[in-house]
């Protein structure tokens, strides 16, 4: 038999590998992926003309900036973000371009993701949304958003991760890593202090350094240093009198100086206002300066951007050194090499059933059971024959609207549809709208799906009450929506209350049927004057494509709810620091007089009982916390301490509990919040099962930011670890000392 086949193939392989290596070596350095990225950047830069460099630092269309075609360096393409991949728009306009292959999977809003308190859900979210972006050939995803929830009126809270810097920090990191594993940059926004929509383009935020570093910056810092985000977006508002996107303090001193950020700083769309500041204060790419592409220029408005011809002129005259544009182009080239010039990045996928399922899983884990008196939920289908579903939000399209996060979703299962699919065969389902919101508006050229209502509110209410009276179980699906002035970009809400007279209807429903579950669809806390009148309340967020199926699965108990609130629900607006002190929304200036005392920190300080606390969320089973202990009495300055607590599922079904650890500083030289979240773990427990939950911390969990020293300080002394099921449901306390 002829044998030398193996050596022959080995030889062939060696020859082809050698050819590959030599082909790589023949490549210019910037194209050679085997070379260190910094060498490639310098090589590419050395080949570029001044004009080519300037072209890279500003937009060429609504969502793209130029590459260098001569050198094979591709354009950069951005996409919103953060809940799904935005539909294609025209080159120069916000209007949709009418493509037929750009319908995405809409994922749950980031408030829902934060409410999962599950880092694995965050990683999954990042991975799948990154795959969608990659498939659509976008190399920058404009998200996630991590602005802190300061006031429940902020119209954009639904795009963020809640009120606590630690929770937001832990949840943002895996999202970024997931996105970037696709060779797509996560662009973390809006850096920084964009905590209200009112006057967002002009407001100057005044905040003391300690509050800035302890509350408003940690999630961004974690995004940069742990998530290794490749891009960040400067906010619209001002800080220290300079717009955040062209801000010496935020961008040069903190982001690049202290945190050593090596990615690109992208402006928010239209957030740039001055060429010199845009040149010198850390910005790399200017976008959206004039929304209509042509009206501000003779032939091309983009040439008139602050970082376009005005910049080129200054460079040519020598008034600005070429090094200034080089700094920006280096960052952009780094972005390009990390993303669309990485030949090994995966190809992504779009609108797939797997992505739909991922969205459903995240939605199911984020839904929060706020109240469940007499265990009215889950609905017992063996006993319930007729279900009345009431409320406009049971049928309202929620993926459209809300501003830049608006989506053209491949599909969206409404709560009514989800319930029909799940229980339609077992029970009779009756729907009544009950109330009506604003007249439907087409957004982005997309119909919001609303049916125009011709009946009066009395007629609607009567129909709903009749349906409720004759049902065995009533599900009210209401809350806010994505209209302007509610959960929507550009404006804040006007009040904490529910719109469209829903309070009155809910109270009336509670009178005619005791088996009432209220589902609130919102990205914000709402007032609930009827809280004691209804048996069950569910926080249903904006859940995306699989909204209805996820909600139905929780309502009937296929899924045991395990979400916990990522922000406080105050009883009334004045229970929130920014409102109590009357600072919000400010007049040109917005001073954060409540300082560190945001959310539960304020409620703790002033002993205000929230309607529902930060970290609160119930389950269809129950959990008992055993005695907590520490592995020592003392924590050394450079050491660690581990706390353990046995948690038992004492109910009859499997469930997940989010065990939370807060730190209380017994004695401090500065005022400190009564407690601060410093660790959490979501554990899954079968009925009767016990697991030991362990938390390891070091002195960073005990530190405060000393503004005088401009550094973090942990003062030796006594501390307490408070372990519990929410910020107001502490079950175990363990004392220890920092030495």
Report, as residue numbers or ranges, the catalytic residues. 268
Rounded to whole angstroms, the Cα distance separating 262 from 255 reads 9
Task: Return the residues of window 377-416 that contact ligand BGC according to CB under 6 A.
Answer: 404
Choose among 360, 373, 366, 365: nearest CA to 517: 373
Residue from 295, 275, 271, 299 nearest 54 by CA: 275
Q: Quick one: 491 or 560, whose CB is closer to ligand BGC?
A: 491
Question: SS3 for 591?
Answer: strand
Euclidean distance between CA atoms 713 and 670, whole angstroms: 11
Q: Under 8 Å CB-to-CB from 377, ≥6 apart: which residues?
A: 369, 517, 536, 538, 555, 557, 620
If binding is defined by CB under 6 A, does position 184 make contact with ligand BGC? no
The answer to whether 492 contacts ligand BGC (rule: CB under 6 A) is: no
Q: What's the length of the chain?
A: 739
Nearer to ligand BGC, 189 or 345 (CB): 189
With CA atoms as reference, report the closest residue to 334 among 583, 629, 30, 53. 30
Smallest distance from ligand BGC to CB 189, Å: 5
User: Does 104 contact ligand BGC by CB under 6 A?
Assistant: no
Among 81, 234, 540, 615, binds ligand BGC (CB under 6 A): 81
Nearer to ligand BGC, 364 or 404 (CB): 404
Q: Which is nearer to ligand BGC, 233 or 475 (CB)?
A: 233
Cross-strand bridge partners of residue 387: 429, 473
Does 80 interact with ligand BGC (rule: CB under 6 A)? yes
- Residue 89 vs 556, nearer CB to ligand BGC: 89
CB of 224 to ligand BGC, least distance (A): 18
Distance CA 96, CA 93 (A): 8
Question: Is residue 234 a contact residue for ligand BGC (CB under 6 A)?
Answer: no
For ligand BGC, the binding residue among 44, 142, 148, 685 (CB under 6 A) is: 142
Establish if 197 lies at the interface with ligand BGC (CB under 6 A): no
> Nearest distance from residue 50's CB to ligand BGC, in Å?
28
Decide the pairing of beta strands 704-706 and 655-665.
Answer: unpaired
Minimum distance, C-beta of residue 493 to ligand BGC, in the bound complex (Å): 17
> At its nearest, how many Å lie between ligand BGC and the CB of residue 715?
39
Among 107, 269, 302, 592, binds ligand BGC (CB under 6 A): 269
- How many residues of this chain interact with ligand BGC, rule: CB under 6 A? 7
Q: Considering the complex, state which of residue 201 and residue 210 has its C-beta at the smaller distance from ligand BGC.
A: 201
Give residue for tokens 């002993």: 607
Q: Which helix (H) or strand (E) holds 683?
A: strand 676-685
Q: Which is nearer to ligand BGC, 417 or 489 (CB)?
A: 489
Count of Cβ atoms closer than 10 Å to residue 34 Cβ: 10
Task: Give least dist CB 395 to ligand BGC, A.
Answer: 28
Closest CA to 503 of 475, 533, 473, 538: 533
Q: How far is the CB of 63 from ligand BGC (least distance, A)?
A: 7
CB–CB of 682/701 below 8 Å?
Answer: no
Does position 268 bind ligand BGC by CB under 6 A?
yes
Query: How far does Cα 697 stand from its chain's mean position?
Result: 25
Interface with ligand BGC, residue 189, by CB under 6 A = yes
Binding map of ligand BGC across residues 497-526, x = CB under 6 A, - = no contact:
------------------------------
Residue 189 or 396 having the CB closest to ligand BGC: 189
Q: How many CA atoms lie within 13 A of 305 on its CB side?
A: 32
173-205 CB burial, b ≥16 within 10 A, e <16: bbbbbbbbbbbbbbbbbbbbbbbbbbbbeebbb
Minimal distance, residue 607 CB to ligand BGC, in Å = 37
Q: Rounded to whole angstroms, how far apart are CA atoms 109 and 147? A: 14
Q: Does 286 bind ligand BGC (CB under 6 A)?
A: no
- Angle separating helix axes 547-555 and 415-423, nearest 10 degrees: 50
Residue closer to ligand BGC by CB (options 160, 625) is 160
| Cα angle for residues 595, 597, 600 (degrees, 5° grid) | 160
Tell me how far, at minimum, the Cβ of 268 lies from ligand BGC, in Å: 5
Which residues would be at the binding site for ligand BGC (CB under 6 A)? 80-81, 142, 189, 268-269, 404
């Amino acid at each position: 038999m002829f044998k030398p086949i193996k050596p022959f193939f080995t030889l062939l392989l060696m020859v082809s590998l050698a050819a590959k290596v030599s082909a790589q070596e023949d490549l210019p350095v910037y194209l050679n992926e085997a070379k260190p990225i910094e060498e490639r950047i310098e090589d590419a830069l050395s080949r570029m003309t001044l004009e080519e460099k300037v072209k890279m630092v500003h937009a060429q269309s609504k969502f793209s900036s130029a590459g260098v075609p001569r050198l094979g360096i591709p354009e950069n393409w951005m996409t919103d973000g953060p809940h799904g991949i935005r539909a294609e728009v025209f080159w120069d306009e916000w209007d949709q371009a009418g493509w037929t292959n750009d319908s995405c999977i809409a994922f749950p809003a980031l408030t829902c993701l934060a409410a999962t308190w599950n880092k694995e859900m965050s990683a999954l979210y990042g991975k799948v949304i990154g795959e969608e972006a990659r498939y659509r050939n976008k190399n920058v995803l404009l998200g996630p958003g991590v602005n802190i929830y300061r006031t429940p009126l902020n119209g954009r809270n639904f795009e963020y991760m809640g009120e606590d810097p630690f929770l937001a920090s832990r949840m943002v990191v895996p999202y970024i890593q997931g996105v970037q594993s696709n060779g797509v940059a996560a662009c973390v926004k809006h850096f920084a202090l964009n905590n209200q929509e009112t006057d967002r383009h002009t407001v100057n935020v005044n905040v003391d350094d300690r509050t800035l570093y302890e509350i408003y910056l940690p999630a961004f810092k974690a995004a940069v240093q742990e998530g290794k985000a490749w891009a960040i977006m400067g906010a619209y508002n001002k800080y220290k009198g300079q717009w955040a996107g062209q801000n010496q303090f935020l961008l040069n001193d903190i982001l690049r100086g202290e945190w050593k950020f090596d990615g690109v700083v992208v402006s928010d769309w239209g957030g740039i206002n001055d060429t010199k500041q845009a040149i010198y204060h850390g910005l790399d790419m200017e976008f959206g300066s004039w929304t209509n592409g042509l009206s501000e220029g003779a032939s091309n408005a983009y040439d008139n951007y602050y970082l376009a011809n005005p910049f080129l002129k200054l460079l040519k005259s020598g008034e600005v050194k070429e090094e200034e544009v080089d700094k920006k182009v280096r960052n952009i080239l780094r972005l390009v090499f990390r993303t669309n010039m990485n030949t090994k990045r995966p190809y992504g996928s779009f609108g797939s059933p797997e992505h739909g399922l991922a969205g459903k899983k995240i939605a199911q884990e984020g839904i929060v059971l706020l109240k469940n008196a007499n265990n009215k939920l889950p609905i017992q289908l063996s006993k319930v024959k007729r279900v009345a579903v009431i409320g406009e939000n049971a049928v309202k399209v929620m993926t459209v609207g809300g501003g830049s996060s608006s989506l053209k979703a491949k599909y969206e299962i409404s709560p009514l549809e989800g319930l029909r699919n799940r229980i339609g065969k077992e029970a009779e389902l009756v729907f009544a709208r009950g109330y009506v919101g604003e007249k439907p508006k087409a957004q982005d050229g997309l119909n919001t799906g609303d049916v125009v209502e011709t009946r009066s509110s009395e007629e609607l209410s009567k129909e709903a009450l009749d349906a409720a009276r004759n049902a065995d179980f009533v599900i009210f699906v209401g809350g806010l929506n994505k209209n302007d002035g509610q959960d929507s970009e550009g404006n804040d809400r006007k009040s904490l209350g529910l719109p469209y007279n829903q309070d009155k209807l809910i109270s009336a429903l509670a009178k005619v049927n005791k088996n009432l579950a209220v589902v609130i669809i919102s990205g914000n806390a709402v007032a609930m004057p009827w809280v004691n009148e209804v048996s069950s309340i569910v926080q249903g967020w904006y859940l995306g494509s699989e909204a209805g199926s996820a909600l139905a699965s929780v309502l009937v108990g296929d899924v045991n709810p395990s979400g916990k609130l990522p922000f406080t629900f105050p009883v009334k607006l004045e229970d929130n620091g920014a409102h109590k002190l009357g600072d919000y929304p400010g007049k040109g200036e917005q001073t954060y007089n409540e300082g560190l005392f945001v959310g539960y920190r304020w409620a703790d300080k002033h002993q205000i009982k929230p309607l529902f606390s930060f970290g609160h969320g119930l389950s269809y089973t129950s959990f008992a916390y055993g005695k907590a202990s520490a592995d020592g009495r003392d924590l050394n300055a450079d050491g660690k301490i581990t706390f353990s607590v046995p948690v038992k599922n004492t109910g009859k079904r499997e469930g997940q509990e989010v065990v939370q650890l807060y730190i209380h500083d017994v004695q401090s030289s500065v005022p400190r919040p009564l407690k601060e979240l410093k660790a959490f773990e979501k554990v899954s427990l079968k009925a009767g099962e016990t697991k030991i939950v362990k938390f390891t911390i070091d002195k960073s969990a005990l530190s405060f930011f000393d503004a005088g020293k401009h550094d973090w300080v942990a003062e030796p002394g006594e501390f307490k670890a408070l372990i519990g099921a929410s910020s107001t449901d502490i079950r175990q306390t363990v004392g220890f000392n920092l030495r």
